[in-house]
Amino acid sequence: MIQVNDLTLGYERPVLHRLSFAVRPGEFVGLLGPNGSGKTTLIHALAGLLRPREGQILLNGEPLAALGSRRRARTLAVVPQSTEIRFPFTCLEIVLMGRYPHRRRAFSLTEADLATALWAMRETTTAEFTDRPVTGISGGERQRVIIARALAQEPAVLLLDEATSSLDVRKKVEIFELISRLNREGLTVICALHDLNLAALYCRRLMFLKEGRLLEDGPTEAVFTAATLERVYDTPMEVIMHPGYGRPYALTLPLHPTGVAKAASGGAS
């Protein structure tokens, strides 16, 4: 579905260098890496928001750069880390904006559009905010409304840029359960995130970025190892298999274990 060939991306200077990879339909891919490694830059490029300096992105065999924004929006939906909305649109109006790429006329709204928007709000547990202004709800609630807007686009590919970082633990898991179910139904997902264990639990493939390079790319069980995590994050790590779910689980270890041991013992020598 997505083919990336020798891709170099950047703004004033290059951020990512000569990336090449493919994402097949129905994959659930996690993008991991430290701050500044290029995860957001790559999401922006895959969404068509940033033109490559070099290389090419193909969507279903066609150059992404050659597709109009409306056509891209019928296939790709993106959820950024945060969205600033200053006008008091109702939450339903915000979600209905996701239907714009599918409308035959700019201001036409069908019963099917409304039904799809209300479905997306139910799925993201935002239906209670239907008539409330988006400026009058919390940041985490607003982020779920933005996720509902993306789902209302009925995309084939969902791009998430740390989209659940502002959610509490329960809502974060609920969103990932929803996305995982939609993925099993055929939705392709590419998700940039910092939560290692959330990625290991839900993503079936992981791509690790560091200093503008793709360090590791493969099935979660194969690449989610202590050696990989230590190499990517420059931090001591341990990876165990969760006894209940059979998925790898990362434990962050102290940088200076001697100091931790002294603190735990009350400073005794």
Asked whether the predicted pLDDT for residue 267 surpasses 80, the reply is no
Does residue 140 belong to any structural domain of this protein? yes
What is the number of domains present in the chain? 1
Q: What is the pLDDT of residues 113-131, one digit of tens each?
A: 999 999 999 999 999 999 9
Does residue 119 belong to any structural domain of this protein? yes
Q: Residue 264's pLDDT is what?
A: 59
Mean pLDDT of the chain, nearest integer:
93
- List all residues 6 or more positions away from 189 whose beta carbon is below 8 Å from its beta carbon: 27, 28, 29, 157, 158, 160, 179, 182, 183
Does residue 96 belong to any structural domain of this protein? yes
Does residue 177 belong to any structural domain of this protein? no
Asked whether the predicted pLDDT for residue 249 surpasses 50, the reply is yes
Give me the percent of the chain exceeding a pLDDT of 90.
Answer: 83
Q: Residue 86's pLDDT is what?
A: 87
Q: Residue 266's pLDDT is what?
A: 64
Does residue 76 belong to any structural domain of this protein? no
Q: Which domain holds residue 104?
A: 89-154
Does residue 35 belong to any structural domain of this protein? no
Can you read off the two tokens belonging to residue 184?
A: 């099993």
Does residue 212 belong to any structural domain of this protein? no
CA–CA gap between residue 229 and residue 197 (Å, rounded): 12
Does residue 24 belong to any structural domain of this protein? no
Q: What is the mean pLDDT of residues 71-98?
A: 93
Asked whether the predicted pLDDT for residue 269 surpasses 50, the reply is no
Q: What is the pLDDT of residues 177-236, one digit of tens each?
A: 999 999 999 999 999 999 999 999 999 999 999 999 999 999 999 999 999 999 999 999
Q: Which amino acid is at 78?
A: V
Q: Residue 83's pLDDT is what?
A: 85
199 near 193, Cβ under 8 Å?
yes
79 near 24, Cβ under 8 Å?
no
Q: What is the pLDDT of residues 159-181, one digit of tens each?
A: 999 999 999 999 999 999 999 99
